[in-house]
Amino acid sequence: MSIPREVKFVIKKLKENGFEAYIVGGCVRDFLLALRSENEGGRKVEPQDWDVATNAKPEEIGKIFLRSFINNKFGTVTVLTSSKNPRLKEIEITPYRIDEKYTDKRHPDKISWAKTIKEDLARRDFTINAMALMEIKNQKSKIKIIDPFSGQKDLKNKIIRAVGNPEERFSEDALRMMRAVRFATTLGFEIEKETSQAIKKNSFWLQAISKERIRDEFFKIIMADRATDGIELLRSLSLLKYIVPELEEGYGVSQNKHHIYECYEHAILSLKYAAKRNFNKYVRLAALFHDIGKPRVKRGEGPDATFYGHEILGAKITTQILNRLKFPKKEIEKIAKLVRYHLFYYNPGEVYEASVRRLVRQVGPENMEELLQVRMADRIGSGCPKAEPYKLRHLRYLIEKVSQDPISVKMLKVDGKIVMKILGIQPGPEIGDVLDILLSYVLENPKKNKKEFLEKEIEKLAKLAEKELSSLAQKAKKEREKIEIKRDEMTKRKYWVT
């Protein structure tokens, strides 16, 4: 584990110009975690992005780095590097600052430049995020850590602790309450008692925060390996009701004789499986929300309770939630569809191609794999030991089959009416015979599927006797069946359904 060349360069330049410069924030946390993990032979986690803090002012930083721009009201200067690594393409340099007085629970009313790194660290959210790191010159791989709030100790003990008085810190920026949950979830840490009590007491402050900022934290929680623990932590700290109250409606709502888990439990267990399998964001959100309509449509109590129409209402509620959280429209549509159709019935031998074709048309071929994954998450989240691999494999095979162009006379550029007109006859078996023969030409060479060509062929066939025509058609049909069987066998083999 080492500090990247680009970061070292930025720090060196600042120092050459007489300023202080430290690596700060999340990357110090991740760097120290990576060091430990490396020493213990664990998994390597690279810092997401590298931030540098300095006592230089924005204009002074701008003068030192030609390829740079000031990018926000906090005076952060982004320096462009020539690195190919996306994490190192831009390095952010932030002047030491103090955030003064917060009245809206979101942003400081005013900021001012600070003189020392310690003052800068004091405005940061958690002890593990409030450390600065510097390499000591001429001492290879020697580092110095500025750690006024004992972040290293908390890092070692896996603790999220607010810097200073937690209640005050959350009143400055209420999003920090969600950030505490997010770091606890992604890092697998505990939130220290005073910090978590302050969250529980003041969770309603979250209402002051923009939906976009809430969405970004919520999303990071959903994408974590321990996503389920994150949702449960949000709930137990009373934050969930300000993010997705609809999910909490299912808390303590029992289902019926087919289910051992309550609605809320089932939702988070489904998410747990989706996270375990590392399914994508659509599947994770759909798994979490697939039964969200249940509490509102529940009729009756006990083993015979029903939930008719919950998937339709669920899709509606999902759309409302994701709209409120400002998710992109396309993503909302996709996730709502996964919720809407998660109940699809499938049993090999009982459900035929036509209904699978209909399902594919409704859900969209591009969403089918994710729909199957939601179904697996649903089953495992219900406590079923298996995700029905055989049935789903069979369905997957049928989906592929119906998604291909139907190899039938329907795809010809001429139809029965044209045949009747050219042949000058009434409906009868000859029409089908002619179309079958034409299809055999087109199957052999798709380029022949042109109206003019086929019409000419019809005229030729018109000259044949009835018997000849029929035997030609029989031959064509047999050829076609052979091709279809072969294709079927190949698709089946691909999915091991035999």
Number of H helices, E strands in the chain: 23, 11
Alpha-carbon distances, residue 491 vs 95, 388, 394, 399, 404 (angstroms): 61, 19, 10, 11, 11
Candidates 21, 22, 24, 26; binder of Mg ion (CB under 5 A) is: 26
| Total residues belonging to the chain | 498
Which is nearer to Mg ion, 49 or 400 (by Cβ)? Answer: 49
| Minimum gap (Å) between residue 296 Cβ and ligand ATP | 35
Token output for 473: 């058609």
What is the DSSP code (8-state) at residue 89?
Answer: S
| Minimum gap (Å) between residue 289 Cβ and Mg ion | 29
Q: Which of residues 103-122 bind ligand ATP (CB under 6 A)?
A: none
Alpha-carbon distances, residue 291 vs 221, 269, 313, 341, 377 (angstroms): 20, 12, 9, 11, 12
# residues contacting ligand ATP (CB under 6 A):
12
Candidates 64, 93, 117, 124; binder of ligand ATP (CB under 6 A) is: 124
Largest CA distance in the chain: 102
Fill in the amino acid letter for 267: A
Q: How far apart are CA 31 and CA 49, in angstroms?
A: 11
129: partner contacted, choices Mg ion, ligand ATP, none (Cβ within 5-8 A by kind): ligand ATP
Q: Which of residues 14-53 bind ligand ATP (CB under 6 A)?
A: 25-26, 48-49, 51
Which is nearer to Mg ion, 26 or 58 (by Cβ)? Answer: 26
Q: Which of residues 142-161 bind ligand ATP (CB under 6 A)?
A: none
Candidates 32, 65, 95, 176; binder of ligand ATP (CB under 6 A) is: 176
Binding segment for ligand ATP (CB under 6 A), chosen from 9-17, 169-177, 264-272, 473-481, is 169-177
Coil vs helix vs strand at 110 = strand
Token output for 116: 């020392």
| Minimum gap (Å) between residue 108 Cβ and ligand ATP | 10
455: partner contacted, choices Mg ion, ligand ATP, none (Cβ within 5-8 A by kind): none
| Minimum gap (Å) between residue 128 Cβ and ligand ATP | 8
The 8 Å CB, 24+ separation contacts for 119-123 are: 120/24, 120/53, 120/96, 121/24, 121/146, 121/148, 121/149, 121/163, 122/98, 122/148, 122/149, 122/163, 122/164, 123/97, 123/98, 123/99
Candidates 129, 255, 367, 373; binder of ligand ATP (CB under 6 A) is: 129
154: partner contacted, choices Mg ion, ligand ATP, none (Cβ within 5-8 A by kind): none
Q: Report the interface residues with ligand ATP, using CB under 6 A.
A: 25-26, 48-49, 51, 124-125, 129-130, 173, 175-176
